[in-house]
Amino acid sequence: MLTLEEIGVVRNGTVILEDVSLELARGEIVTIVGPNGSGKSTLLRVIIGALAASRGRVIRAENLRIGYVPQRLQIDPTLPMTVKRFMALPHRRRRDDIATALAEAGAEALGERQLSALSGGQLQKVLLARALLERPDLLVLDEANQGLDHRATAEFYRQIDRVRQTLGCAVLMVSHELHVVMKASDRVICLNGTICCQGRPERVAASSAWQSLFGIEARDAMAFCRHTEPGHAEHAHGNPETPPPERACHDAG
């Protein structure tokens, strides 16, 4: 549904992304991980069409609908606005469509609540519901679990998985939660200005590029992966002849 070919982004003379190629297929959950400043948000902006690449091509399936969940939303706490009213902005929406999207995001009980009174986890569900109004083929989330505790993060990812099953959409997200990424993704892309490695989570976790980028945290995530999916981890460790495709990282700093 989406192909990136050798994408490069240069801003103010600084190379932010270089030679990024990837493909996304319907129904898969793909997570982009990488250190701060490694170009994750920039890549998402290229994918949703908010930023033009300096080099390369973005090929989208015809009439591809993309739903976008931003990192956060600044809300003026003095502004009285219910969730339902917020969902109907900036375009008018049918009440039924709003109710359906809220239910799909697990936020059906929040429609009459004031936006400014929501917890972080509740607000993320509402932002997810707003993205679902588009009936997306591709759902893009930029650190949508930022500020959520582990429990709320795990619940949010379960909700994403339910959405994927209901809508049959692909999901592309950025996350720093390595433990959850390992469990929730079909494929992980490790980005540091360019793609260092990508593949099934357990294989990426076993790669040297991943371990050099994330150190101890990476080993912990790997342990989590082994604990929860022993069969996969066996494969990750026991299959040195087929390491994930790796590339040298450059310092995107």
Of 37, 56, 120, 245, the residue at the interface with ligand ATP (CB under 6 A) is 37
State the minimum distance, in angstroms, from the CB of residue 121 to ligand ATP: 20
Per-residue DSSP letter, 246 = B
Residue 18: HSE in the Cβ half-sphere, 13 Å Cα cutoff? 14
Decide whether 179 or 226 has the Cβ nearer to ligand ATP.
179
196 near 209, Cβ under 8 Å?
yes
Cis link prior to 90 (omega < 30° from 0)? yes
Using rule CB under 6 A, residue 40 touches ligand ATP: yes
HEC-encoded secondary structure of 116-134: HHCCHHHHHHHHHHHHHCC
Interface positions, 41-80, toward ligand ATP (CB under 6 A): 41-42
Of 36, 63, 74, 242, the residue at the interface with ligand ATP (CB under 6 A) is 36
Using rule CB under 6 A, residue 31 touches ligand ATP: no
Using rule CB under 6 A, residue 250 touches ligand ATP: no
Total binding residues for ligand ATP by CB under 6 A? 12
30 near 40, Cβ under 8 Å?
no
Decide whether 16 or 236 has the Cβ nearer to ligand ATP.
16
Distance CA 210, CA 208 (A): 5
State the minimum distance, in angstroms, from the CB of residue 43 to ligand ATP: 7
Of 1, 7, 18, 34, the residue at the interface with ligand ATP (CB under 6 A) is 34
Residue 106: HSE in the Cβ half-sphere, 13 Å Cα cutoff? 15
Instruction: Point out which residues bind ligand ATP (CB under 6 A).
Output: 11-12, 14, 16, 34, 36-42
